[in-house]
Amino acid sequence: MAWRSSGTSNSELVENLWRNEMITHPEVKSAFLKVDRAHYAPRSPYEDCPQPIGHHATISAPHMHASAVEHLLQFIMPGEERPAPRVLDIGSGSGYLTHVLAELVGERGRVVGVEHIEPLKELGERNMKKSREGRELIEGGRVRFRVGDGRKGWRDEEEQGRKSWDAIHVGAAAVKVHEELLEQLASPGRMFIPVDDEDDPQGWGQHIWCVDKDEKGEVKKRKLFGVRYVPLTDAPKA
């Protein structure tokens, strides 16, 4: 039903995602309604399709962002177990999902978007600053954008204490679930990551994996569905 979720406004897009059950939690719906995709997509922002944003990167289709948030929700919402959720958004690109995640982590939460080249990091920051809400999230420190190799995760040296991430979203296809990401995933924690799958009989070539780490550090992986993402790789050469 994802291809039927396009709208003529941000609210219509989100309502269609809700009606088609791509969004199923009221908290997720509320967060998407607060973030106007027109600030992040270069054209036709309310179409439920991916779009290029330059530098060999794309902004994913809204239904894919919705799926990511739905799967990660219990690890990004503040509560007694994690009053200040820490979320890592690898391949933050346009900054759209980074903003949606920030709407969910609460006032004490933190979202860090990591990009492999400076212009994309700057693009995410610039897009978020188009709205008052986005500017406040950046100025208040709830959102930070950084440049780095997403395959190695991110060590947030600016924050004392916890060094792990309650949730990790990866917005580009990895050749494998990298050990650095598993090491940085909290116990408990969850990662949403597309991974190359050359043996896929349906021809997708990639699948989304939901990777859980429990309180004892045991890791379990679930293959969800086929996708096509740009690769998680080195920065493109000029």
Omega before residue 188 within 30° of 0, cis: yes
> For residues 151 and 212, what is the distance between their CA atoms, to the nearest angstrom?
18
Nearest to residue 48, comparing CAs of 6, 96, 17?
A: 6
Query: Whole-angstrom distance between the N-terminal and C-terminal Cα of the chain?
Result: 39
Query: For residue 172, what are its two tokens?
Result: 């580009």
Nearest to residue 22, comparing CAs of 36, 4, 37, 46?
A: 4
Question: Out of 5, 6, 60, 94, which one is annotated catalytic?
Answer: 60
The region that residue 78 occupies, defined by phi over 0 for left and psi between -120 and 50 for alpha, beta otherwise, is: beta
Indicate if 5 belongs to the active site.
no
- Continuous segment of H or E residues that includes residue 155: none
Indicate which residues carry an active-site annotation. 60
